[in-house]
Amino acid sequence: MYRSDIEWLIPPEDDSRLLSVYDSREQFLGTALYSSSSQIALRLISISRLDQEGWMALFRERLRASIRFRVSRENATDGPTEACRLVFSEGDFLPGLIADQYNDFVVLQILAQGMDTAAIRESFLEVVIAEASPRMVLERADPRMVELEQLRVPSAGPLYCQPGTDPEESTVFHLNGLRFHYRGNSGQKTGAFLDQRENYAAAARYCRGEALDVCTYQGGFALHLARACGPVTGVDASRPALEVAEANLALNRDQIGQVEVDWIEANAFDLLRDWSNSSRRFDSIVLDPPAFAKSKRAAEGAMRGYKELNLRALKMLRPGGTLITCSCSHHVGIDDFTAVVAAAAGDARRQLRLLERRGAAADHPVLLTVPETEYLKCLICRVE
């Protein structure tokens, strides 16, 4: 509920961040978490009246259900996997809270002021330790949300470390049978992009020949492509990310053999423009850029960016090649994204056949009444 929709408000007098919500006829609507700084002032958590004790009981119940849902699906993967999203905010009815598991690590991320309480952290640890048995629990901040929501900056150390275990804040986890490094103090989001897990596996099924992974980050798509393609080139603007990608490549040589995998540090727009103009060609290209639209106002510029990337990629693909193109900007809907890819194909004078339209992995459930939870788009196309 946006601040502009509120007629009058009495802030909570305690640290619970709980408010009862009424409509203009003074009919009770439910209990919400309150934020004093965000434009999203209220996030509904129940249509019942809740006090602090009731909210903590409901929180623990929802958190257990969320974790157990993931455990029930742990065999439905494309190979051994030890990483998943345990809690997906509104998608698991816990708005403003993210939790990811990387092997024996659990990483908490709080994105809303209503979840930024000592009671939430205590209840989170109680349930996660009992249900997931982690060696370590870390909390990572999203700097943008810390500023917008005026959140507490987490302490540098872990929230929990299993007694008698290695205190090192790093581990290795399996994803679709491949191994990846995880370090608690580095990387984007909580450290990796688990929402693409099923799309990584799909890329290995569809792609063949010489392959290019644009915005590879730590090599997620590139290493999956190396199982079916060769040679493979991964491009990213971040040198630290590519250093992790190289370390991940070394971890997986037994899986991918001697397939040539190269990393290039470069701006994707500049590199693709130069390569497309110089007749550089590939059989398979993956485009997985960061979110171009952080707000509705940025959506128009994002569409131009998506068109430019896809136009350049289409010019570089050989006939019969595969294009896998992604958008994680929830302000750019699937219809608009599909239309801009089609427009790029028209400008490139290429025909596209849509083979699959995909989204985030199943551990990122979509709440139909919250369209922002369906943010990731992935189109798999055959190019003629």
155-187, pLDDT tens digit by residue?
888 999 999 888 888 899 999 999 999 988 766
Angle at 131 between CA 108 and CA 117, to 5 degrees: 35
- Kindly indicate the confidence band of residue 45, based on its pLDDT and cuts at 50, 70 and 90: very high
Structure tokens at 6: 């509120």
Where residue 22 falls among pLDDT bands split at 50, 70, 90? very high
Using a 10 angstrom Cβ sphere, with 0-12 exposed, 13-18 middle and 19 or more buried, the burial of residue 92 is buried
Residue 111's pLDDT is: 95
Q: Evaluate if residue 294 carries a pLDDT over 90.
A: no
- For position 60, what pLDDT does the model report? 98
Distances (CA, A) of 377 to 60, 111, 236, 291, 327: 31, 22, 20, 11, 5
Identity of the highest mean pLDDT range in 65-79, 156-170, 234-248, 287-301: 234-248
Task: Give pLDDT, residue 79.
Answer: 78
Average pLDDT over residues 96-111: 95
Q: Name 112's bridge partners.
A: none
pLDDT of 109-148, one tens digit each? 999 999 999 999 999 999 999 999 999 999 999 888 999 8
> Over pLDDT 70: what percentage of the chain?
97
- pLDDT tens-digit readout, 355-369: 999 999 999 999 998
Domains with residue ranges and CATH for the chain: 3-53 (no CATH), 54-168 (3.30.750.80), 193-383 (3.40.50.150)
- Provide long-range contacts, Cβ within 8 A and 24+ apart, for 223-229: 223/178, 223/248, 223/249, 223/252, 223/256, 223/261, 224/176, 224/178, 224/200, 225/284, 225/286, 226/252, 226/256, 226/259, 226/261, 227/255, 227/256, 228/204, 229/259, 229/283, 229/284
Kindly give the interhelix angle for 268-277 and 299-316, rounded to the nearest 10 degrees. Answer: 40
More confident residue, 290 or 111: 111
The total of other beta-carbon atoms located within 10 Å of residue 307's CB is: 17
- E-assigned strand segments in 237-316: 261-265, 282-287
Which residues are within 8 A (CB) of 335 and not within 5 positions of it... i.e. 6 or more apart?
Answer: none
Instruction: Write down the pLDDT at residue 189.
Output: 67
Which residues are identified as catalytic?
A: 328
Specify the pLDDT at position 44. 95
Give, in degrees to the nearest 5, the angle at Cα 189 between 356 and 74.
55
Which residues lie closer than 8 Å to 224 by C-beta, 6 or more apart? Answer: 176, 178, 200, 201, 203, 204
What pLDDT is stored for residue 167 in this prediction? 83
Average pLDDT over residues 229-253: 96
